[in-house]
């Protein structure tokens, strides 16, 4: 672990995240979020392009931007946007596919293209709704619970880890570390709740922290499977010491939408 590379990058990322989440107006926050999402999406497509089935990056980026617009403009209904996307993609591929070989790979290519949009763009856009509806402090709560859980899982797994949790996806992860991550995330979540969200009460903070950590622990090895399938350690090297943008948000991909919907279901 190269701390000389990791620490400066981490400080810059934390500063950008804090200033953007805390002070940026909605339109600026949305634009910065879309740039980040597109960067992560392109990293996902770069991973896929190491295999023989190639997603269409231009189609994916345009689709992601249209999908993102439905989060910023509620009147631009998601169903209508999806209809327009399907028609546009159909026309695009109709003119693009002009050989038997391309006809054969068309289903796999379009599947990877749209999977990337759902996997990266759809899930991460919920952070805009979370900030718009609940303000910045619940984003801090979410990020803190994930960070505390990851840190607890790392140290407990390093000291007492014996039984592998996901040998193929993440060989270093253990059941002991995973359980330690859940416990530390729950305890840390209650502490953070007392500071950032005292009106919630510790029982609900415990529930939120538990599900956030469990889903974050599922998200991480899923991305690891993609990287392992193509034989790389990181999604890119754009962030020195931290890999790529996709590596930094993999824990959010499942936890973020569920956290938002759980808040709505509990009418908070």
Q: How far is Cα 55 from Cα 106, in angstroms, rounded to an integer?
A: 9
Range of the domain at 136: 3-265
Q: How many of the other CB atoms lie within 10 Å of CB of 236?
A: 17
Angstrom CA distances, 112 to 52, 107, 208, 257, stand at: 12, 9, 32, 21
Q: How far is Cα 256 from Cα 77, in angstroms, rounded to an integer?
A: 21
Q: How far is Cα 136 from Cα 153, in angstroms, rounded to an integer?
A: 26
pLDDT at 82 over 80: no
> pLDDT value at position 126?
96
> pLDDT value at position 100?
47
Predicted TM-score (pTM) of the model is: 0.90
Instruction: Compute the mean pLDDT over every residue in the chain, rounded to the nearest whole number.
Output: 87
> pLDDT value at position 102?
56
Task: From 200, 212, 195, select the one nearest 256 (Cα to Cα).
Answer: 212
Q: What is the pLDDT of residues 152-206, one digit of tens each?
A: 998 999 898 788 877 777 778 888 999 999 999 999 999 999 999 999 999 999 9
What contacts 249, CB < 8 A, 6 or more positions away?
A: 36, 40, 124
144 versus 78: the higher-pLDDT residue is 144
Q: What is the pLDDT of residues 125-155, one digit of tens each?
A: 999 999 999 999 999 999 999 999 999 998 9
pLDDT at 263 over 90: yes
Q: What is the mean pLDDT of residues 101-106?
A: 56
Model confidence band, residue 3 (pLDDT cutoffs 50, 70, 90): low
Model confidence band, residue 74 (pLDDT cutoffs 50, 70, 90): confident
119 versus 224: the higher-pLDDT residue is 119
SS3 of 243, please?
strand
Looking at the chain, the whole-number percentage of residues with pLDDT higher than 90 is: 51
Q: Tell me how many domains the chain contains.
A: 1
pLDDT at 1 over 70: no
Enter the tokens of residue 6.
């990791």
- State the residue for tokens 């989060």: 71
Tell me how many helices (H) and strands (E) the chain has.
Answer: 12, 2
């Amino acid at each position: 672990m190269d701390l000389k590379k990791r620490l400066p990058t981490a400080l810059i990322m934390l500063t950008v995240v804090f200033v953007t989440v805390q002070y940026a107006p909605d339109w600026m926050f949305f634009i910065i979020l879309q740039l980040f999402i597109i960067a992560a999406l392109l990293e996902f497509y770069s991973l896929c392009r190491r295999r023989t089935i190639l997603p269409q990056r231009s189609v994916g980026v345009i689709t992601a931007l249209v999908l993102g617009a439905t989060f910023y403009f509620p009147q631009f209904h998601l169903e209508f946007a999806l209809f327009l996307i399907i028609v546009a993609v159909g026309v695009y591929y109709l003119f693009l596919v002009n050989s038997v070989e391309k006809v054969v790979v068309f289903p796999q290519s379009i599947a990877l293209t749209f999977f990337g949009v759902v996997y990266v763009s759809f899930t991460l856009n919920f952070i805009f709704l979370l900030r718009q509806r609940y303000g910045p402090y619940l984003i801090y709560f979410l990020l803190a619970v994930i960070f505390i859980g990851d840190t607890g899982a790392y140290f407990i797994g390093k000291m007492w880890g014996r039984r592998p949790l996901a040998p193929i996806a993440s060989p270093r992860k253990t059941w002991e570390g995973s359980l330690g991550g859940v416990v530390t995330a729950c305890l840390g979540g209650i502490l953070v709740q007392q500071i950032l969200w005292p009106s919630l009460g510790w029982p609900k903070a415990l529930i939120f922290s538990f599900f956030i950590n469990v889903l974050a622990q599922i998200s991480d090895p899923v991305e690891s499977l993609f990287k392992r399938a193509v034989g790389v350690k990181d999604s890119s090297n754009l962030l020195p010491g931290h890999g790529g943008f996709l590596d930094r948000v993999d824990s959010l991909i499942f936890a973020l939408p569920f956290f938002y919907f759980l808040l709505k279901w509990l009418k908070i």
